Structure formats: C-alpha cells, structure tokens
Amino acid sequence: MGDEHSLIPKDSFVFKLPKKSPLVLRMVVLMFVMVCAVYICSICLKQIGVVPSAGFLNVEVFEKPCPEPNIEPWDIPYVHYPKPKTYKREECSCNPVRYFAILSMQRSGSGWFETLLNNHTNISSNGEIFSVKDRRANVSTIFETLDKVYNLDWLSSASKNECTSAVGLKWMLNQGLMKHHEEIVEYFKTRGVSAIFLFRRNLLRRMISVLANSYDKDAKLLNGTHKSHVHSPKEAEILARYKPLINTTLLIADLKQVQEMTTKALSYFNTTRHIFLYYEDVVKNRTRLDDVQEFLKVPKLNLKSRQVKIHHGPLSQHVQNWEEVQKTLNGTGFENFILEDYRK
C-alpha cells in the first residue's frame, strides 16, 4: 500500500516539547539563591554564638578576655590568670595572680617567714610540699606538682579564697632544687615564677637549731610530741633546755659546705626574677616585709605570726662545749658567728 494511501498523517508521530517558560527558570534560580543564603546565614550565626534550636534562638555567652593590666611591659610575664580545675574563681577570674617560691634551707626561719606571708589576705604559701620524696622523684613529678600549685588546685590550710593574688610554696635546697636546677630555672622563667631567697647570716645559730630539732625528733620533749615550731613561750623554754654538743672537728667544714650551697643556689637562679633576704634582717627590720609585699605586688599590710622563737640570747647558753667552739672559730672567716647577736 503506497504512502499516498495512508490514512494517518506522518506529522501525527512527531511530539514537540513545549519551550521552557522564562518564569520557571527564574523561580529555579531564585530558589537556589535562597537556599545558599540560608546556608551562609546559618554558618555565620554559629560563628557568633547564635544557634537555632527547636524554633528558638539559643544565645551562647562567651567568656570575655580579661583586660590588660596596667603594668610595665617587663612585668607582663609574671602576671597570670589561672583557671583551677577543682573550682571556679567566679568574679575573681580577672584578678591577676603572681607565682613565687621561697628558696631556703632547714632551720633558716622559713617556717616563721611563711606564716607571716600567709597572714596576708591575698597570699597563699602552701608549705614544704617537696618534703614528700615522691613529689620530687624526677623532673616530671616536680613539674606536675608545681603546675597544680600555680593553677590554684593545691588545697591546703594556707589556701585562700578565689581572689588570691600571690601563690607559692616553700622549697628547701636539698629537696631536688639543686639536683634539677637547670630544668627548674627554665620552668621559673617560662612560667613567670619569682624566687624569694631566705637564708640565715649566722650559720652557727642555724647549726644549733638543726641539732636541737634533730634531737627532739627522737626525744619528743613536749609531752611525747615532736614540734619543729612552737606557739607558746613555755614550749619554747622546754625545747631550749637541750644543749647540743657540736663536733668541732667537722665544724668549719660543715659551715663551709652550707656557705657553698647557698652561693651555688644564688648563682644557679641568678637569671630568674628574685629577691634576697637574711632572716636576721627580717627580724630586726620589719620594713623588709614591705619589700617582699612590693615584690609580690600585693597591698602592704602589717603581717604577724604566732610562732615563738626557741633559742634566745647568747649562743653560749645553747651549746655544751662553747669554749671549744670558740677556740675552733677564732681567727677564721667564721669568727663573727660567735660575736654576732640580735634581739628577738
């Protein structure tokens, strides 16, 4: 059958798609732009702390940075804003805190001196922390302990409220301080820790105190209890009754050893921010306490201690073999120790 006889025209099998309307295209583009805009806005809102939640806006409050303290540029490394893990400083979070360490030797007046500092409303000195051997086993344990102290997470009877302005500890030279001095100096400089050196000028008086305290550890003269420090004249009198016998053969060598250790400590920590004190000077002149408070940048207060001095008066009253000691030290560089005296 020929084409001319076909009953269905050819054009009937050709489907022509209608042209897309310009209005539809515009709607598609507009929807795309709106989606992008919503996405971008949501990102921006998240960054500024406004997050949509369940149809409401939840505004997050970010902690404002503390204002810059009005201090000299050189002093900035010594001003800190610790954030304790065990509590919050609340309204005191922007109160600056300074870190310190009292570097001393046993029986050099450091216990009495520390009670004076702790009498200040804004100072917390946490005692002889490194007397516990595990805490000074190595550099890592030393740093862990120091971090806890300076982060205000070390809780002791000396711990103050959230507004502490100066926090530190008492550290004896023979408690890992000299052994790891290089690492500790670097820690002090990196963390902005200030050192307070406190030593006795009269090393003979210190020796007598060391010997008497060592004796009482076993004798326990105060009703079977050993006390390194006392708070009543009666207790001081009882402890002072014991007169140690000094080994004069080793006397000069022992005094030299203590003197050399003091000199080494000063040279090791000379590059740190520090202040140097003699116990005798603090006893005689309380303005030295003003110097310490100025050093720690705390308000100057009249500081007091309940501790009572044990060995009063001339040294001859506190040594069994005083004449032998005199003969040994006469004509030496330590002769002034048997002549010096001070009131307290």
Better pLDDT: 1 or 301: 301
pLDDT tens-digit profile of 335-344?
A: 999 987 544 4
Average pLDDT of the segment spanning 18-24: 59
pLDDT tens-digit profile of 115-166?
A: 999 999 999 999 999 999 999 999 999 999 999 999 999 988 787 766 899 9
Confidence of residue 14 (pLDDT cuts 50, 70, 90): very low
The answer to whether residue 17 scores a pLDDT higher than 70 is no
Instruction: Delimit the domains of the chain by residue range.
Output: 73-339
Confidence of residue 36 (pLDDT cuts 50, 70, 90): confident
How far lies 266's CA from each of 108, 263, 288, in Å? Answer: 16, 5, 19
Cα 52 from Cα 160, distance rounded (Å): 42
Please measure the distance between the N-terminal and C-terminal CA atoms of the chain and give it in whole angstroms.
Answer: 141
The mean pLDDT value of the chain amounts to: 87
pLDDT tens-digit profile of 40-83?
A: 766 665 555 544 444 444 444 445 678 877 888 999 999 999 99
pLDDT value, residue 60: 46
DSSP structure string for 102-164: EEE-TTSSHHHHHHHHHTSTTEEE---GGGSGGGGSSHHHHHHHHHHHHTT----TT---TT-
The answer to whether residue 328 scores a pLDDT higher than 60 is yes
pLDDT tens-digit profile of 247-261?
A: 999 999 999 999 999
pLDDT value, residue 27: 75
* Global pTM value: 0.80
Domain 73-339 has CATH 3.90.1010: no
Cβ-contact 246, 319 below 8 angstroms: yes
